[in-house]
Structure 1
Amino acid sequence: MIGDKMHKIVKVDDNQIRLDRWLKENIKNTSYTNIQKIIRTGQVRVGGRRKKPDYRVLTGDIIRIPPDQIDTEALLKQNSNYQTRSIRDMQIYEDKHVLIINKPYGLATQGGTSINIHVDGMLQDINTEADEKYRLVHRLDKHTTGVLMIAKRREVAQFYTSAFKNQIIKKQYIALVNGKPVNRNGQIDIEISDTYQKKSDFVDYDRKQSVVTKYKLIDSHEGAISLLQIHPLTGRKHQIRKHLTLIGHPIIGDMKYGNIKINEGLEKKLYLHAQKLVFPGFKSEEKIEVIAEMPIYFYEAIKRLKLNSDE
């Protein structure tokens, strides 16, 4: 039965991608190893026939997914109208190519262990048009708020992923940090590791790739807490959080990378907000700037500390 949960039809936007990649994008919370296994053992069928992992799927292909690979718990929890409305409520910019949201605190960008509600999952309920498939272009940590870009088609996602990688897209964050930097303007150029056990593990002395974060001091509260404007030039995992900890100014509320104590009676949350994104129009000369308002708890903290938030 084509309309059931065991069968999916390949959309125009997925034409000619590998079968194993298509499965990875369409089966939640599974590993690449498992994908290879279910293909190899014939549990996946395309048009009723077995295929190899490198088979290029075609628009209209009917693909059978093994029933034990379907996330029934998530399906039961999802309410399509609610999820779609939630994404739209977060929307702060949209054109023919991208949708941009102001991601709230505590909402994960993608799924994982014990994460049932996330942006990527919400997008599945918007993907109703045959020629469009909304997909994430980049990520924000679960407890980081702010600007998050979503592409409406694969070619758009590829265009902006490349733009991020080549530093064509400019990102601006704000953060509350412990202490006060000596210099009003600074640049952190320290290679960081993806592994983490203790602070000394942050630095990767063997890595050749440059990892750079620029910052500007906006204001400070008695030298104890400072408001920084931050511009990451590269996009490594937890780059801003690790870099600021390495220079002795961890972000307020960062329980993982060094600032366990919440100061001055502030709400117990991470004070890092993706404030602005400046990017080119899709295959055009237009420059687009999108600004996300800071969450209420962040605004209240700035007000409580009597900080000047003007640039």
Structure 2
Amino acid sequence: MDTPQPTPDEILSRVLHRDGLMLVIDKPAGIPVHRGPKGGPNLEASFDALRYGLPRPPVLVHRLDRDTSGCLVLGRHRKATASLNLLFKHSKVSKTYWAVVEGGPSSDEGEIDIALGRLNEERGWWQKPDPNGFPSLTKWKVLGRGNGMTWLAMEPITGRTHQLRVHCAASGWPIVGDNIYGNGPRFGEPTLHLHAREIVIPLSKNKPPVRVAAPAPAHLHERLRACGWTGNEASTQEAGVSAE
């Protein structure tokens, strides 16, 4: 699924949070965050619409895969961007993803501790389990099951490229629609069923952290419902890894 370049109105409609330091937007699936070597639609090209009176557009402080949807954080000015970069670098930002996987784990919660390394030079970002690679840890919790699939909340403790996708595939339950590490789209449809559901950012020592949740995108609805999701965002907003 290729997503066209968002118009100013479309990108503005995706703002989930705004303060003096940062924006959190709901990234659509199917569009890269950066302009690629071949050009084409990319999220950064729409950021000018998000200045809100500031002299420069906001900038990315982390990235999501092209086919991943959900919470994406932007710094609004240089000092804010530097602070946010440090929070991400030192793993101070908590991220919870929703994934629908094929099959699924037998238990209801756990963690995946599998080191990751690059697949090869030709494949760039692609990763593989590698005992000599970088330590990589993911916590997960089952939120629902159905139709031979499992709905998971996943928290990447480390932030390796493609970490959740490789960890799920290596565990024997690839993410639905993963055309790199899994079984690929079925019937020509689903995009990757991976959504950056919630992000928690400790911006200030004197204030509670900023907590932002992105609604489940339309392409996940059918399989989430098959796993027991009711579609009631209010009741599931806190359904993350650390939920009681």
TM-score (norm: length of structure 2): 0.82
Query: Are 2:132 and 1:206 equivalent residues in the alignment?
Result: yes
Query: Quick one: which of 202, 207, 210 aligns to 1:285?
Result: 207
Measured after TM superposition, the shift of residue 206 of structure 1 is 2.3
Greater share of strand: 2
**Counterpart-to-counterpart distance in 2, 1:282 and 1:133:** 23
> For 1:85, what is the secondary structure of its paired residue?
helix
- Give aligned-pair identity as a percent: 29
Native 8 Å contact 2:97 2:154 kept in 1: yes
- Closer/same/farther in 2, CA of residues 266 and 226 from structure 1, 3 Å limit: farther
Measured after TM superposition, the shift of residue 286 of structure 1 is 3.0
Query: Quick one: which of 102, 109, 118 aligns to 2:26?
Result: 102
Name which structure has the greater RCO, CA cutoff 8 Å, separation 6+: 2
Query: Are 2:164 and 1:240 equivalent residues in the alignment?
Result: yes
**Counterpart-to-counterpart distance in 2, 1:138 and 1:113:** 19
- Closer/same/farther in 2, CA of residues 185 and 306 from structure 1, 3 Å limit: closer
Native 8 Å contact 1:165 1:234 kept in 2: no
Q: Which residue matches 2:111? A: 187
What per-residue deviation string (whole Å, max 9, x for no partner) do you get for residues 55-100 of structure 1? Answer: xxxxxxxxxxxxxxxxxxxxxx99xxx7432321111110111111
> For 1:180, what is the secondary structure of its paired residue?
coil
Larger Rg: 1
- Closer/same/farther in 2, CA of residues 261 and 119 from structure 1, 3 Å limit: closer
Q: Which residue matches 2:228? A: 307
> For 2:222, what is the secondary structure of its paired residue?
helix
**Counterpart-to-counterpart distance in 1, 2:115 and 2:132:** 9
**Counterpart-to-counterpart distance in 2, 1:233 and 1:226:** 21
The correspondence of residues 71-220 of structure 1 with structure 2, limited to 5 A, is 83-124=7-48, 126=50, 131-196=55-120, 202-207=128-133, 209-220=134-145
**Counterpart-to-counterpart distance in 1, 2:105 and 2:68:** 22
Q: How many residues align?
A: 224
Native 8 Å contact 1:179 1:226 kept in 2: yes
**Counterpart-to-counterpart distance in 1, 2:105 and 2:155:** 16
Measured after TM superposition, the shift of residue 118 of structure 1 is 1.2
Which amino acid counterpart does residue 275 of structure 1 have in structure 2? Answer: R
Which amino acid counterpart does residue 104 of structure 2 have in structure 1? Answer: K
**Counterpart-to-counterpart distance in 2, 1:153 and 1:133:** 8
Native 8 Å contact 1:189 1:210 kept in 2: yes
Which amino acid counterpart does residue 101 of structure 2 have in structure 1? Answer: V
Q: Which residue matches 1:269? A: 191
- Closer/same/farther in 2, CA of residues 128 and 221 from structure 1, 3 Å limit: closer
> Runs of 5+ in structure 2 lacking a partner?
231-235, 240-244
State the superposition RMSD in angstroms. Answer: 2.5
Query: Are 2:221 and 1:296 equivalent residues in the alignment?
Result: no
Measured after TM superposition, the shift of residue 300 of structure 1 is 2.5
TM-score (norm: length of structure 1): 0.65
Q: Which residue matches 1:23? A: none
What per-residue deviation string (whole Å, max 9, x for no partner) do you get for residues 119-165 of structure 1? Answer: 11212455596754410011111111100011101221121121112
